[in-house]
Chains A and B, each alone.
Chain A
Amino acid sequence: MDKKFNIGQKLVASPYIVWVAVFVVVPLLMVAYFAFFGDEGKFTLEYIKSVGQYSDIFIRSIWMAAVATIICLLISYPLAFILSRMSKKTQSTMLMIVMLPMWMNFLLRTYAWMTLLGNEGLINHLLGMIGLGPFKMLNTVGAVILGMIYNYLPYMILPLYSVMEKIDPSVLEAASDLGCNRIKAMFRVVVPLSIPGIMSGITMVFVPAISTFIISRMLGGGGNMLIGDLIEMQFLGNAYNPNLGAAISLVLMVIVLIIMAAMHQLDSSDDDRVLL
């Protein structure tokens, strides 16, 4: 009986196992293969080593993604908290408004920012009417970060909201009862209880932001190349070199994994002490 059930479970799970194997594990192995083996099929570290020459692009990508993630967190945190304390009905309306931009095509959304930020764009046009500008906004670092924030903000709000929504209001009342004003209650109760949401929000914004290439292409001009652009060039662009592209991807993946692991380490070791 028990055994049969286990076989049944395995049967049910098998399509997913096949899926993961074919579409996740195999491609990853292929990327690794391309990164370490040249055209003749011989092992080489040449590609990995040559990734080093792009360190400035790596550094730029990391800090821009980090800035975008931090700003997303700062905007989302109070918003998600206020949202989680509203009546259930308002909550669902507000959530829809938050998600609304996500239903629009990513390219279109980003393209819209081009027309807003351009030298002849709407914002400069309006500023011009009161005698200011025009300012160069498009094709700057700021524009790229803005694009990241705008596009990935919902991915920060949603995990934060879903964690905060589960915080029992009576726990906040207890904090108030025990001497916390709103701000103290926030730091002593809400923040520690929402750490899982903060972690997954950061992951869900930082990872796509560090590897984006559309946003930097459209809003950054040519001057603000990110890792994503670099990788794309190796596969589709003039610099065609899939082995180097694979090596860059692999290095990026390792960097992201290290950053994430470090963050989770910080999270669990600080569990009790963060409040003191």
Chain B
Amino acid sequence: MENVISLNDIVVSFDGETVLNNINLDIKDKEFVTLLGPSGCGKTTTLRIIGGFIQPDSGEVIFENKNITKLPPYRRNVNTVFQKYALFPHLNVFENVAFGLRVRKLPEKEINKAVAEMLELVNLKGFEERNVQNLSGGQQQRVAIARALVNKPKVLLLDEPLGALDLKLRKEMQTELKRIQQSLEITFIYVTHDQEEALTMSDTVVVMKDGSIQQIGRPVDIYNEPQNAFVADFIGESNIIDGIMLKDRLVAICGHEFECVDSGFDEKQPVDVVIRPEDITLTANADEKIHGVVRSVTFKGVHYEMVVDSSDFSWLVHSTKAPEVGSEVGILFGPDDIHIMNKMKG
């Protein structure tokens, strides 16, 4: 597939503080890409660079093989769904959606047709004459999406569009956005801090932290093979334990040796060992290499979340079965469940 957008060596700083540090990112056509990271990681800035609202200090933005770094937003073939929707308060639903078409001076007939189609797509048929300020958050969101999509952009940018909605509505809109993206076959670039949202909707997830990209990959790969402890911790919950690599496929954790599947590290190299809470099995046998006392059990619906204190680490464990609080348990995990990562710098 063709790259529709490429960011090359993008650097941005505000007031001497580096916000984006050498971002390189290729986005393929018709892809659903999510920029994921905690607040202040630079994900929104990256989006605004693509939209043209911020000029990078250095680096270039390539759009379909053309350098558009210096182009203002109104000359780019991308449209944005803003975080707080930014609907035009003086226009009704129809005119909000029609705005971009009117600016381009399309004939009235075409405008009517295109707007009607869009309102249908976002399930807002019959709302044409409504005042946008009297709509619910979810409805305003749909107007914002329709207003952007009616221009048939090559790429749609979405800046935490579901952040202000309640959980149930958010889930609905996630499915809906994915449906819209697939039916229109356009590229979505989606910014969120919600890892679950990112994993559910995306073809590709870009994990960011402190202005740089930590990992780019499919949701499954990001989850199963995080490249560092930050990604592992940010995507789902993790136990991150200090370990020492003894040799290929052998690691020392908590003073015991464990077989693992990773290789290529130096001998005696300190590493981060990541074990997912759902990969741990608790046994009644307290003679295992690692064992501890169950400190707490919390019911989470599908599973129980437990904290087990061993002599030098508190383990987070997810399981559908829960032992008694205070009981002695063994902690078991297989070689496949151990993920070895280079220690994070800093």
Residues of A within 8 A of B (CB): 168, 170-171, 173-181, 184, 188-189, 192-193, 271-272, 275-276
| Known pairs A179-B74, A179-B103, A192-B90; A174 contacts B82 (CB<8 A) | yes
B86, A173: Cβ atoms closer than 8 Å:
yes
B99, A178: Cβ atoms closer than 8 Å:
yes
**CA of A175 to CA of B82, assembled, Å:** 11
**CA of A190 to CA of B229, assembled, Å:** 48
- The 3 A-B residue pairs whose C-beta atoms are closest, nearest first, are A178-B100, A170-B86, A179-B103
B88, A171: Cβ atoms closer than 8 Å:
yes
Identify which of B74, B79, B95, B148 gathers the most chain A CB atoms within 10 Å of its CB: B74
A177, B80: Cβ atoms closer than 8 Å:
yes
Report 9 cross-chain contacts, Cβ distance below 8 Å, ordered by A residue.
A168-B86, A170-B84, A176-B74, A177-B73, A178-B148, A180-B103, A189-B88, A272-B91, A275-B91
**CA of A193 to CA of B90, assembled, Å:** 6
Apart from A170-B86, A173-B82, A178-B100, list 20 A-B contacts with CB within 8 A. A168-B84, A171-B87, A171-B88, A173-B80, A174-B86, A174-B87, A175-B88, A176-B53, A177-B74, A177-B148, A178-B99, A178-B148, A178-B151, A179-B74, A179-B103, A189-B88, A189-B90, A272-B91, A272-B95, A275-B91
A170, B82: Cβ atoms closer than 8 Å:
yes
Residues of B within 8 A of A (CB): 51-53, 72-74, 79-80, 82-84, 86-92, 95, 99-100, 102-104, 147-148, 151
Q: Which residues of A contact B92 (CB under 8 A)?
A: 272
**CA of A192 to CA of B90, assembled, Å:** 7
| Known pairs A173-B73, A272-B92; A178 contacts B86 (CB<8 A) | no
In the assembled complex, the CB of B73 is this many whole angstroms from the nearest CB of chain A, namely: 4
**CA of A176 to CA of B53, assembled, Å:** 9
**CA of A171 to CA of B100, assembled, Å:** 13
The one of B79, B89, B90 that contacts A177, using a Cβ cutoff of 8 Å = B79
| Known pairs A177-B51, A177-B80, A179-B74; A171 contacts B104 (CB<8 A) | no
Q: Which residues of B contact A173 (CB under 8 A)?
A: 53, 73, 80, 82, 86
